[in-house]
Structure 1
Amino acid sequence: MKNIFYTFLLVLSLTSCSEFQKALKSEDIAEKFRVGTELYEQGKYGKANRLFAQIMPQYRGKPQAEKLTYMYAKTYYEMGDYHLSGYQFERFETAYPRSEKAEEASFLSARSYYMLSPVYSKEQKETVQALDKLQIFLSKYPDSEYLPEVNTMVKELDYKLERKAFEIAKQYNQIAYYDASDYEAAIKSFDNFLLEYPGSTFREEAMFYRLDSAHRLAVNSMQYKKEARLLTAQGYYNSFIKYYSDSKFAEQATKMNDELTAELNKFETKS
């Protein structure tokens, strides 16, 4: 019985393949549309895409164009070609703004850009682009059924940018161990990070590493710049300990502050 079933599947597969090859070589665009639609419904998106690509120009302006344009975009999405699916779904929505598929197309376009977003450690151009597309979707469809998923994607993308900004600032701090001129870059990066992401989960670490950078810059400064930098670093300590007195970094921070105080006392003694 199993052999009969598998034989049936094989025959069906060969027939489908043969039909696809005939349609691919055919000059009949209606036949290409029919076979392509059948393959699409069977989940054979690669083959359907090849047929749809051949007939898209000929169907422009025809009643079937809306369905064809949507299926064509969806084949790219299902194939994982998110660059083209994002673009094709945008084209669909622009061409058919009143379509019942317009909202879904807009969502899938935005989601395509989301899928292109890389891990946080890489350049985040696509992440910014995806956030823009998702925000545009939200502005057009504020009550969409896709709202929960869109909000989840936005949070994930925001976190990537946040993590990226934190890691860049932290990298300046680490590089500065070898080049003192980078301490100022680290402090500025942490300042910018804290302004841009005031509620960040990395806030505690950012404030500590900002203090660390300022402390190292101050104690290693030339005399004429030292006092002002010591006071700035001590200000960062006061801010850190105000919010994170129970931090795992509290002991290190206190040691830094003790050193800053000792250095400042030298200036008071001289005066």
Structure 2
Amino acid sequence: MRLLAPILVFAVLSQSCSEYQKVLKNEDVKAKYDMAQKFYEEGDMKRANRLFEQIAPKYIGKPQGERVMFFLADTYFKRKDFNMAGYQFERFVKSYPKSEKVVEASFFGAKSYFELSPNYSLDQTDTDKALIKLQNFINAYPDSEYFDEANAMAKELTRKKEKKAFEIAKQFNKLGKFDFTFLTPAVAAFDNFISDFPGSIYREEAMFYRFESASHYALNSFEVLQKPRLAVAKEHYAALKKQFPETKFMEEADKLLEKVNEELEGFSPQGEAK
């Protein structure tokens, strides 16, 4: 009796596989449609996807075409083939702009691109694409049930781009300790970061490192170029203190400012007279 259950399960599975193979190979589109829908409802996305792929071209322009195209896109998404899911959901939206499923398709199309976004340290082309798709969805469907999730995903991607930009600027700053020519792009990168991400959690650090980069750049410059560069460094210090009066970098910033001021004293009228 204990062996009976596994044998029955095996027999059912074998019959199911046999039926699937038979329907897969024949030309009966209706049979393929029925079986694809059955597998979809059972959660067997691999076999449902293969059948929907076969019949989708046959249903173009037909009443069932809308349903088939949506299920095809959804099976790709559920199988985590996000490249194809994004493409198919976009096709669905273009083909059936008045469909009841257009909001859902637009959301999951955008989410497909979100899933393709890589780690912040890698190229962020897919992140940029996902942000555009999500922002388009948020703008188009502010009352959608998916609005909050779309907004959360957009914020996550923005934080990823934030971190990427911040780490690039920090890398220039770090390299500048060995080769001061890297400090010019460091200051520019921090300038861009502060401008592009005004509410960033890294803002205080960015403002300090901008001051640090500008200071070291000025202190390592030729004497004829030092004075205006030292003045710019002081402006960055003032900006840091204005926005973060109790900055956690207070001690480091003040010590660095002393060096900047010492150098500037040499350009005073008395110093120049010497």
TM-score (norm 1): 0.96
> What residue number does 2:50 align with?
50
Within-5 A mapping of 1:157-176: 157-176=157-176
1:39/1:45 contact within 8 Å kept: yes
Further displaced range: 209-218 or 90-99: 90-99
How far apart, in 2, do the equivalents of 1:7 and 1:171 lie? Answer: 63
How far apart, in 1, do the equivalents of 2:100 and 2:16 lie? Answer: 31
> What residue number does 1:235 align with?
235
> What residue number does 1:115 align with?
115
How far apart, in 2, do the equivalents of 1:109 and 1:122 lie? Answer: 22
Cα deviation per residue 1:130-174 (whole Å; 9 max; x = unaligned)? 111111112221110111101100110111111111111111111
1:244/1:250 contact within 8 Å kept: no
Corresponding residue pairs, total: 271
Gaps of 5+ in 1: none
Correspondence 1:153 to 2:153: yes
TM superposition shift of 1:42: 1.3
Structure 1 pair 177–25 and aligned structure 2 pair: CA distance change class (3 A): same
SS in 1 for 2:193: helix
How far apart, in 2, do the equivalents of 1:4 and 1:205 lie? Answer: 68
> What residue number does 1:83 align with?
83
SS in 2 for 1:61: coil
TM superposition shift of 1:3: 4.6
TM superposition shift of 1:17: 1.0
SS in 2 for 1:267: coil
Gaps of 5+ in 2: none
Cα deviation per residue 1:211-241 (whole Å; 9 max; x = unaligned)? 1101110111101101111111111112112
Within-5 A mapping of 1:95-110: 95-110=95-110
How far apart, in 1, do the equivalents of 2:146 and 2:6 lie? Answer: 40
> What residue number does 2:263 align with?
263
Within-5 A mapping of 1:1-271: 3-268=3-268, 269-271=271-273
TM superposition shift of 1:205: 0.4
How far apart, in 1, do the equivalents of 2:67 and 2:115 lie? Answer: 24
1:45/1:78 contact within 8 Å kept: yes
SS in 1 for 2:267: helix
1:82/1:116 contact within 8 Å kept: yes
Identical pairs, percent: 45
How far apart, in 2, do the equivalents of 1:174 and 1:258 lie? Answer: 21
TM-score (norm 2): 0.95
1:19/1:35 contact within 8 Å kept: no
SS in 1 for 2:180: coil
State the AA in 1 paired with 2:196: E
How far apart, in 1, do the equivalents of 2:14 and 2:207 lie? Answer: 65
Cα deviation per residue 1:218-271 (whole Å; 9 max; x = unaligned)? 111101101111111111112112222322211010000000111111111224
